[in-house]
Structure 1
Amino acid sequence: MTDALARAPRATVSLSRRHLVALPLAAALAPALAQFRVEISGVGATQLPIAALRFRDEDKAPQPVGSIVRADLERSGYFKPIDASSAVIDEGAQPVMSDWRGRGADALVAGSVTRLADGRFDVRYRLWDTVQGRDLGGASFAVPAADLRLAAHQIADAIYEKLTGDKGVFSTRIAYVTKGGGRYTLWIADADGEGAQSALASPEPIISPAWSPDGREVAYVSFEAKKAVVYVQEVASGKRRTLAAFRGSNSAPAWSPDGRQLAVTLTRDGGSQLYLIGRDGGEPRRITNSGAIDTEAAFSPDGKSIYFVSDRGGGPQIYRMPAAGGAAERVTFGGSYNISPAISPDGKTLAYITRDGGAFRLQALDLASGTARPLSDTNDDESPSFAPNGKLIVYASRAQGRDVLMTTTLDGKIKARLVSTQADVREPVWGPFGR
């Protein structure tokens, strides 16, 4: 939500110039303003019962590795956790499969965390299929303390892929913006919202973060120059460059799948229109020529089409056109207000925000059939973004007077709430595979 099409923005724009700091992520030592805990709700139609045990000696390590693995698997919506808190086994055990089937578990995970002499930690795990009585393998990692969370996420990814056939996303990252104490911060965090590090902090609003396809850069809009300007920042080093600072407003960056260009919304020639600009900047090329407000571009996964929001029909709706420009066709027809398009990695599903009475709710549209389905029952949703495997959506919402992050399965049945305890959280975007 970046311009006149959006409802009243949560990020109130101040026009006074103040100090802004860009921090290299590798050197950002301050913890996030908002630490998260995961609250899971809902029941999926089909879930695999799994007993994911506490890892032996995980309480002696800086991170609860087994607990992170268990939370990752539960949050995916594909697994039903089986209580096994009394069990004390590790990856070297020979579990009695019939006992675990008797507990209701179809799969079993156990492991250990051992501190090595050089200060690193040896993390090991093993996975069993208790129904077929098979050892499905495991792995070991020797990692510094700072990488224990990543190791846990990678274990969850391996388990998820072994049992579902789909690639896991627990070791990917998300970006989001917080507002707390009159200060805005852009964070880069693990996919569960933990381990956040500051990429940018400012008294002025920061909005519309967007990951590059290779995960090395994040584009965003900052108001530090008394107006909306688009920047691109390297995630590892914190080095950034100005992408679009033309006359008027510069907003809503969206990367092309090949990473060579971005779509942006500019008002340089009058009203809000869509332009394409190279990843290193330069002269933009206009691709819409309407008398309406055109904004919030999103590329299709094959790069051939752009979805965008326009009020050319009288109210904000989502349209699709060729990526190089051309005739646009309307995509959303249900309701009078549909914004914030996000396309699934397989190109089959459109997630967006629809207005239902006075509520703003997350909805999904099957692009082949045109069938739309609600994914939430909350009243103030915004900014949907697909996980890179297409199995989850992260979005922002409001609960108990605070902005929070949520994830949901595509059927809306399993939701995980990542709760902010100190700051309002908004504008989440899920990064690609890889770190």
Structure 2
Amino acid sequence: MLWRKIFNLLTASLLLNSLAHADMTIDVVGVGASQYPIAIAPFQNENQQKQALTPIINDDLTRSGLFKVIGAGDLSPVPFAPEQLNYTTALAKGAQTMAIGRVTPGAGGFNVQFWLIDLASKKPLITWERKATASQMRRVAHQIADLIYQQITGQPGAFNSRIAYVLKQGSRFELQVSDADGFGSQAILVSRQPVMSPKWSPDGGKLAYVSFEDQKPIVYVHELASGRRWKAASFKGSNYAPAWSPNGRELAVVLTQSGSSQIYLVNTDGSDLRQLSRGGEINTEPAFSPDGRSIYFTSDRGGSPQIYRMNSNGSNIERVTFQGGYNSSAKLSPDGKSMTFITRDGGYRAAIMDLSSRQVLTLTNTSSDDSPSFAPNGQMVLYETKAGGRGVLAAVSSDGRVKQRLRAQAGDVRQPAWGPVLR
């Protein structure tokens, strides 16, 4: 648990690293209470691309656990536009809607057209078109899956997003970024010293994280597009547990410069340090509410690790969790209505709380969970756990029904953070 890891951090050891740029693989363990039947026909000309679109769309929707994807490649002829669709044969497949499309070569790239057709009414629910290069095809496929997800469920999709995590193999640590489906992984930092606690900026363009490369924990900000990085918190003692403010201009960080662990606010360039928390020996793991008015954090001020809330200026501290003797690692849902966290319930498990009713639902049945993080649509929680003696990533739906496991080819994978949807 990150709470217990803090004690190690204050000396100098902890998690993660990896080797090459091995993609993650995702196994779906559970499904939703009911699955929506959708047929997907191969897009015209997609096999001429390095990456076909429909297998990615299929995998995205299947992994959600909410869709029963029906292949439509055996239709004769395969429809590539609404006027080519034979509704009788399409309905015979048992689907309610069908996704069809085509990829047309053009100047500087390709033109992608996509339709989602309601088979009963014979009307398009979605008509969509965009230009793309060959290297953008995976993103286009994720965008199409997001459109389908939102049309059918009424909730925004989150397939076109990225995750960050630390991968450790031997004595090497890598801070990795990949697509939400585990593909396209890239190491943005490689170190022989521990790296931990990656957190996405609100615009998805930067990561804040902790690195031990100077023989002590220091908070860095890393600009992904340029590779530029700088120290945002390098004060006396240890600097760790960064959290972005919703406006992207400040970080909440934890410092030990006063002897105990306290929460501070600092500009992302390292200026204007302000202390927020006082009291207790350990105050850590800050997380902003989406409106920026509150900060949730873990504290031992009541005798055991529990989650508290304070105004973003440090005033009006109140306790949030009362169930059980251990609760930590709070993160707020994008709409601010729910909080995911780690609770000790026969093991350290990911849980979710409805903040209005304070009702708690334990989401997992594993025993070594940590670092929960909401998907940008709030429908899934990504977290770290253990399987086969090593760290792996897992995800669970906010109702606990759908479970996924993300596996790297080698090494321990820990401390994930789910980033915003790409624009």
Is the TM value for this pair above 0.5? Answer: yes
Instruction: Give the distance between the partners of 2:411 and 2:253, measured in 1 at CA.
Output: 28
1:79-158 to 2 correspondences below 5 Å: 79-84=67-72, 86-87=74-75, 89-92=78-81, 94-113=84-103, 120-158=109-147
Query: 283-292 or 51-60: which moved more?
Result: 51-60
Instruction: Give the distance between the partners of 2:403 and 2:308, measured in 1 at CA.
Output: 28
Q: Aligned pair 1:40/2:28, yes or no?
A: yes
Instruction: Give the distance between the partners of 1:151 and 1:380, measured in 2 at CA.
Output: 36
The offset of 1:339, in angstroms, is 1.2
Counterpart position of 2:345: 356
Instruction: Give the distance between the partners of 1:3 and 1:397, measured in 2 at CA.
Output: 15
The offset of 1:71, in angstroms, is 1.2
Instruction: Give the distance between the partners of 1:41 and 1:244, measured in 2 at CA.
Output: 40
Counterpart position of 1:24: none
Q: Aligned pair 1:287/2:273, yes or no?
A: no
Instruction: Give the distance between the partners of 2:41 and 2:7, measured in 1 at CA.
Output: 46
The offset of 1:168, in angstroms, is 1.8
The offset of 1:400, in angstroms, is 2.5
Choose the corresponding residue for 1:393, options 381, 389, 408.
381
The offset of 1:344, in angstroms, is 0.3
Q: Structure 1 4/403 Cα, relative in aligned 2: closer, same or farther at 3 Å?
A: closer
Instruction: Give the distance between the partners of 1:7 and 1:99, measured in 2 at CA.
Output: 63
Q: Aligned pair 1:371/2:337, yes or no?
A: no
Amino acid at match of 2:378: G
The offset of 1:338, in angstroms, is 1.1
The offset of 1:31, in angstroms, is 9.6
Q: Aligned pair 1:253/2:230, yes or no?
A: no
Instruction: Give the distance between the partners of 1:104 and 1:6, measured in 2 at CA.
Output: 53
Instruction: Give the distance between the partners of 1:32 and 1:92, measured in 2 at CA.
Output: 41
1:61-80 to 2 correspondences below 5 Å: 61-80=49-68
Q: Aligned pair 1:312/2:266, yes or no?
A: no
Cα distance per residue 1:107-152 (max 9 Å; x no partner)? 111233455586x344332211123322224334432222111111
Structure 1 residue matching 2:202: 3-state secondary structure:
coil
Instruction: Give the distance between the partners of 1:398 and 1:4, measured in 2 at CA.
Output: 16
Query: 266-275 or 127-136: which moved more?
Result: 127-136
Q: Structure 1 282/337 Cα, relative in aligned 2: closer, same or farther at 3 Å?
A: same
Instruction: Give the distance between the partners of 1:187 and 1:61, measured in 2 at CA.
Output: 27
Cα distance per residue 1:367-416 (max 9 Å; x no partner)? 11111111111222111111122112111222233322222211111122
Instruction: Give the distance between the partners of 1:283 and 1:377, measured in 2 at CA.
Output: 43
Amino acid at match of 2:99: V
Verify the 8 A CA contact 1:5 1:293 in the aligned structure 2.
no
Instruction: Give the distance between the partners of 2:241 and 2:337, measured in 1 at CA.
Output: 23
Instruction: Give the distance between the partners of 1:267 and 1:202, measured in 2 at CA.
Output: 24
Counterpart position of 2:165: 176
Counterpart position of 2:13: 13
Query: 69-78 or 176-185: which moved more?
Result: 69-78
Identity of aligned residues (%): 47
Cα distance per residue 1:327-360 (max 9 Å; x no partner)? 3211112221111111001111110111223x22
Q: Which runs of 5+ in 2 are unaligned?
A: none
Q: Aligned pair 1:244/2:233, yes or no?
A: yes
Alignment TM-score, normalising by the size of structure 1: 0.89
Amino acid at match of 2:403: K
Instruction: Give the distance between the partners of 1:287 and 1:146, measured in 2 at CA.
Output: 45
Structure 2 residue matching 1:241: 3-state secondary structure:
strand
Instruction: Give the distance between the partners of 1:196 and 1:238, measured in 2 at CA.
Output: 16
Structure 1 residue matching 2:273: 3-state secondary structure:
strand
1:196-207 to 2 correspondences below 5 Å: 196-207=185-196
Cα distance per residue 1:187-223 (max 9 Å; x no partner)? 1211112111221111111101111111221110000
The offset of 1:96, in angstroms, is 2.9
Structure 1 residue matching 2:142: 3-state secondary structure:
helix
The offset of 1:55, in angstroms, is 3.1
Instruction: Give the distance between the partners of 2:205 and 2:101, measured in 1 at CA.
Output: 32
Instruction: Give the distance between the partners of 1:188 and 1:344, measured in 2 at CA.
Output: 21
Counterpart position of 1:17: none
The offset of 1:54, in angstroms, is 3.4
Q: Structure 1 414/54 Cα, relative in aligned 2: closer, same or farther at 3 Å?
A: farther
Q: Aligned pair 1:210/2:199, yes or no?
A: yes
Amino acid at match of 1:13: S
Query: 306-315 or 176-185: which moved more?
Result: 176-185
Instruction: Give the distance between the partners of 1:78 and 1:225, measured in 2 at CA.
Output: 46
The offset of 1:13, in angstroms, is 2.0
Amino acid at match of 2:29: S
Verify the 8 A CA contact 1:308 1:341 in the aligned structure 2.
yes
Amino acid at match of 2:142: H
Instruction: Give the distance between the partners of 1:64 and 1:12, measured in 2 at CA.
Output: 46
Verify the 8 A CA contact 1:263 1:276 in the aligned structure 2.
yes
C-alpha RMSD of matched pairs (Å): 2.4
Amino acid at match of 2:117: W
Cα distance per residue 1:259-284 (max 9 Å; x no partner)? 12111000011100000111211141
Verify the 8 A CA contact 2:116 2:124 in the aligned structure 1.
yes
Q: Aligned pair 1:166/2:158, yes or no?
A: no
Instruction: Give the distance between the partners of 1:267 and 1:423, measured in 2 at CA.
Output: 31
Verify the 8 A CA contact 2:199 2:208 in the aligned structure 1.
yes
The offset of 1:80, in angstroms, is 2.2
Counterpart position of 2:39: 51
Counterpart position of 2:415: 427
Query: 131-140 or 211-220: which moved more?
Result: 131-140
Instruction: Give the distance between the partners of 2:161 and 2:309, measured in 1 at CA.
Output: 29
The offset of 1:323, in angstroms, is 1.0
Query: 182-191 or 340-349: which moved more?
Result: 182-191
Choose the corresponding residue for 2:372, options 372, 384, 390.
384
